[in-house]
Amino acid sequence: MQNRITSRQLFEQMQERLDLRWIAGQRGEQRVLEAASHLSRRPSLVGYLNTIYPNQVQIIGTAELEYLDGLEARQRWETLAKIANAQPLALILTRDQPCPPDLRDAANETDTPLWVSARRGHELLTYLQYHLARVLAPSVTLHGVFMEVYSIGVLLTGDSGVGKSELALELISRGHRLVADDAPEFTQIAPDVIDGTCPELLQDLLEVRGLGVINVADMFGDTAVKRNKYLRLIIHLERQDPQEDPKPVDRLRGDVGRRRVLDLDIPLITLPVAAGRNLAVLVEAAVRAQILKGKGIDAAQTFIDRQAHQMRRHSPW
């Protein structure tokens, strides 16, 4: 799923943080910036005034105003026309600088949103780059329960009724934290980072069969929930039919694999669900093992190496 944002949405989202005021070009509030618009390096999402490769959001600081003031009348008019004709999402004046009348007129005539901020240019650049990168990043909604277990993000998946919510409730009671139930949203915010969040409608809520919807924050306290977490592991719960023979599994490494989420391959562990199995303990052990693997410690490989060493020691050749 690719995201998009309008000038009005960006203004409302950043108005308080960046002390923004909308002074001209209000009719351009529906200008749209889509994710596909920033796939190339030029133009960039946000930057200081650039007439050669106009940025999607143009920041006009003291130096930029001095540059415009140094132009001859005709050249200045042509430059302002060129800036407006590039149809940026918005122009932003920094540090509450007075807006030149011809810049205001150009913004109104071309319906170009023109804002003023009390912040410095580098602050606007930092905040807006981060915000737009997240808003426009590719995202996807997956079915499951997203948890923080031992400080890493773990997505519990499985068929409906397999026991994901009950397992999540047990993990919460053991001190782990809920991020999102049922429909966590995942956004790729960097080439190797997928961030998981909860839709506003489902915030702090967990649906458990037989109990209905419970508010985890109210029941267990604010420390039992987490606003977002990076996805590092997927644990799939698979119902095991006692009437059928269990499928063959690698007894050394377990049922491990990978699942493609957006542009990343996320480690996947499949746990059979059967009577008498303590899934909460198994999930904790799986997460601990994953953490150790990240440190280069692999118990299965250690055992294989020991066995090979023993075979070499007792080999007659």
Statement: residue 90 has pLDDT above 80: yes
**Which CATH code is given to the segment(s) 4-136?**
3.40.1390.20
Instruction: Quote the pLDDT of residue 44.
Output: 84
Statement: residue 247 has pLDDT above 80: no
Q: Compute, in degrees rounded to 10, the torsion defined by CA atoms 81, 82, 85, 90.
A: -90
Statement: residue 132 has pLDDT above 80: yes
Residues forming the active site:
143, 164, 182, 251
HSE value, Cβ hemisphere, 13 Å, CA-based, for 90: 32
* Non-local CB neighbours of 57 within 8 Å, separated by 6+ positions: 10, 45, 46, 47, 88, 89, 90, 91, 92, 128, 132
Q: Which residue has the higher pLDDT, 191 or 166?
A: 166
* Spacing of C-alpha 283 from chain mean position: 24
What digits encode the pLDDT tens for the residues 18-76? 999 999 999 999 999 987 644 455 568 899 999 988 999 999 999 999 999 999 999 99
The mean pLDDT value of the chain amounts to 90
Q: Which CATH number among 3.10.129.10, 3.40.50.300, 3.30.450.80, 3.20.20.70 corresponds to the domain 139-307?
A: 3.40.50.300
What digits encode the pLDDT tens for the residues 99-124? 999 999 999 999 999 999 999 999 99
Please name which of 60, 42, 53 lies closest in space to residue 86, comparing C-alpha atoms. 53
pLDDT bin (cut points 50, 70, 90) of residue 242 is: low
Statement: residue 82 has pLDDT above 90: yes
Domain ranges within the chain, ordered by starting residue: 4-136, 139-307
The verdict on whether omega for the bond into residue 43 sits within 30 degrees of 0, i.e. cis, is yes
Q: Quick check: 86 and 112 in contact, CB under 8 A? A: no
